[in-house]
């Protein structure tokens, strides 16, 4: 993973306890990234610099456009210009539904009820007998926090990582939580990593769209410092995903399938 700078220094006026002063702080960068699929402009995303190929591949997985590594025949990237071209090994008939859609940094595609029903109805429950101990899960969260350099400097990004029984495998920081997750899954897809025994680790809220992304990638564990929504919990129960939230210090809540957590 390339070490791409995600922040710059900015002069600000700082106020504290009745006094103010001029100081320098770190502020996050954001860049537009345009994805071309089979020579057609698919979408423009606003994201943190770096890991553009992973982000675009993760986005295609999350949208159900690609399912297997062999679906992608080539990837090229002009990092400075913020352009990525992906060519698939076969035509993608549904691509016209996504053309030239603008995405913000904070959320995924807007949905009607029909979009959401289609997403969940096309997926199958995860089959996995992987078990993590309580100590391992808390260790994953600590490791994610300790390696979150950009967040510690700026407070302006989300983190997502992937772990197995050996610990945190890798992580990404991005101004968009969906982007950070897509980068994690994009890297795993490109490297053909088996996901059924892995844990997705998050810094932020576990929304239903994040769970759908995990489900598409056959992840059986989601762990976060923050909380899930009610719909996310219902989907996790239905699709056999263990959902652990509010993991802080020496505690956490298990919202679904606690049998996979050894306590």
Residues 6+ away with beta carbon under 8 Å from 96: none
Distance set, CA 62 to CA 5, 80, 94, 250 (Å): 26, 25, 14, 32
Residue by residue, DSSP assigns 49-98 as SS-HHHHHHHHHHHTTS--SGGGEEEEEEETTTTEEEEEESS--GGGGGT
Residues 6+ away with beta carbon under 8 Å from 214: 181, 200, 222, 241
Number of Cβ within 10 Å of residue 180's Cβ equals 27
User: To the nearest 10°, the Cα dihedral for 211, 213, 214, 216?
Assistant: 120
Catalytic residue check, 199: no
* Rounded CA separation 82/121 (Å): 34
Instruction: Name the catalytic one among 16, 56, 107, 199.
Output: 107
User: To the nearest 10°, the Cα dihedral for 103, 45, 157, 211?
Assistant: 60
Q: Write out the catalytic residue numbers.
A: 107
């Amino acid at each position: 993973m390339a070490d791409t700078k995600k922040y710059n220094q900015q002069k600000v006026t700082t106020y504290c306890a009745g006094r103010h002063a001029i100081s320098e702080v770190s502020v996050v960068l954001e860049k537009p990234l345009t994805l071309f699929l089979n020579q057609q402009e698919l979408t423009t995303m606003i994201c943190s610099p770096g890991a553009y190929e992973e982000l675009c591949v993760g986005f295609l997985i999350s949208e159900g456009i690609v399912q297997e590594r062999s679906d992608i025949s080539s990837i090229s990237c002009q990092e400075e210009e913020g352009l990525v071209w992906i060519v698939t090994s076969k035509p993608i008939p549904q691509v016209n539904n996504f053309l030239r859609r603008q995405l913000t940094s904070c959320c995924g595609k807007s949905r009607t009820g029909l979009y959401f029903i289609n997403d969940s109805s096309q997926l199958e429950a995860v089959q996995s007998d992987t078990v993590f101990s309580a100590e391992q899960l808390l260790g994953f969260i600590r490791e994610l926090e300790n390696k979150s350099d950009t967040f510690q400097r700026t407070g302006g990004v989300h983190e997502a990582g992937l772990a197995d029984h050996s610990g945190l495998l890798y992580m990404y920081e991005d101004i968009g939580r969906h982007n950070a997750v897509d980068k994690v899954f994009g890297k795993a897809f490109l490297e053909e990593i088996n996901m059924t025994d892995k844990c997705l680790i998050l810094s932020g809220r576990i929304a239903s769209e994040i769970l759908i992304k995990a489900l598409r990638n056959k992840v059986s564990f989601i762990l976060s410092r923050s909380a899930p929504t009610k719909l996310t919990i219902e989907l996790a129960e239905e699709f056999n995903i263990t959902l652990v939230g509010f993991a802080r210090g020496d505690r956490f809540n298990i919202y679904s399938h606690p049998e996979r957590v050894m306590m």
